[in-house]
Amino acid sequence: MNAIRFHSPLALAAVLALVLAAPARADDSSSSIAFSDPSKPGTLKIRVPHGAVTVHGADVKAVTVASEVAPVNSPPRKDGMRVLSASASYVLSEKGNVVSLEYGTDGYGGAPADFEVTVPRDTSIVVANSTHGDISCTGVTGDIDIRTLSGDVSLHEVSGGALVETLNGDITVGVKSLAESRPLSFTSMNGKIMIRVPADAKAAIRFRTHRGVIMTNFDDKALVTKTEISRRGPRKDAKAHSSDKSQAAAPAEGASPDTTLASRKEMDDSEGDWHAELRDSIREAADEAAMAAREAAEAVHEGLAEARVEIAGAIPPNSPIPPLPPMTGGKVVSGTLNGGGAEIQASTLNGDIVLKKAE
């Protein structure tokens, strides 16, 4: 008992020290800023080339950022100058109802950093220069524009328009509600696209994949679709086979039964050849489209490589990611959900596309 009494004051002091120290650490790694006109929806622009970003929409008035790195703290120096750049700090600023979160603005001098951001629900989110890191956005009613080279993108309980593009990553979307005037578009070169919408959502869909499958758990009464193999058009020789087949279908006047049977056999053989040619044409068109998409993706990488700054291995952190090239070819499913409404488009080169009812 004496030992317990002897150590109790020390333990109490240690706990008290930890409690007092916690707010100080939180103050060092978080920052808040208000929109200049809180009566109007604002925009959050995120410039974090390397690191994960999580955005939460909440019933708040200001934008709050929490991170393991501290915000820029730039008290005046003795010469009156302020340090504006720091590789281990982030900058949070506001102008014209646009809040900007910037990290790594001097290149990759600092290590990757993760950020957790809380915003008013009606804030629009723009992420235009992410090169590596997962991005998540929850509970936002504003529009979302995310472009990243490598990373998964997750949207949950969103109800605004959305444009999401990732070169290498999965896209997961949970839609709270759809508005016909606010389309949704999701593109991944190498990743799966999962979209969840309410059971009674009204939408017009168009999904495309080259090396994946397109699936849904909506029944065929709610989701009415048609499937096609998109191609650049029939080959000339395939068209010629079609013409030959039409001519073979009409036997010459006065031909004998044996001649007619021979003509029919020839026609059947021609039809088989024509189908084979058509299948080859479709397959070649899909392969050509896939190759074009891969070449375009490589061009994106090359374009970024050419734009590198003098610092070895550094990509200009403020340069926006070029949009992915439009995809052609592949398997295309289009149709209407519950009679049609907001446009939902999804395209992937290597991945599945899934449309599910929200649970």
Do 148 and 116 share a domain, yes or no?
yes
Does residue 79 belong to any structural domain of this protein? yes
Provide mean pLDDT across the span 280-295: 54
| Model confidence, pTM | 0.68
Do 199 and 300 share a domain, yes or no?
no
Would you call 1 exposed, middle or buried from its count of C-beta atoms within 10 A (0-12, 13-18, 19+)?
Answer: exposed
Do 268 and 247 share a domain, yes or no?
yes
- Measured CA distances, 270 to 8, 240, 255, 282, 320 (Å): 96, 11, 20, 18, 54
Q: Which of 161-175, 245-259, 267-281, 310-324 has the lowest mean pLDDT?
A: 245-259
Provide mean pLDDT across the span 163-170: 94
Q: Are 343 and 203 in contact (CB under 8 A)?
A: yes
Does residue 281 belong to any structural domain of this protein? yes
Do 213 and 294 share a domain, yes or no?
no
Q: Residue 140 maps to which CATH number?
A: 2.160.20
Which residues, 6+ apart, have CB-to-CB distance to 137 below 8 Å? 54, 55, 57, 125, 144, 146, 154, 155, 156, 158
* 174, pLDDT greater than 50: yes
Provide mean pLDDT across the span 205-226: 95
Structurally, the chain folds into a number of domains equal to 2
Provide mean pLDDT across the span 114-123: 97
Do 244 and 299 share a domain, yes or no?
yes
pLDDT of 250 reads 43
Do 38 and 52 share a domain, yes or no?
yes
pLDDT tier for residue 215 given thresholds of 50, 70 and 90: very high
Do 52 and 177 share a domain, yes or no?
yes
Would you call 284 exposed, middle or buried from its count of C-beta atoms within 10 A (0-12, 13-18, 19+)?
Answer: middle
pLDDT of 72 reads 75
Report which of residues 326 and 243 the model is more confident about. Answer: 326
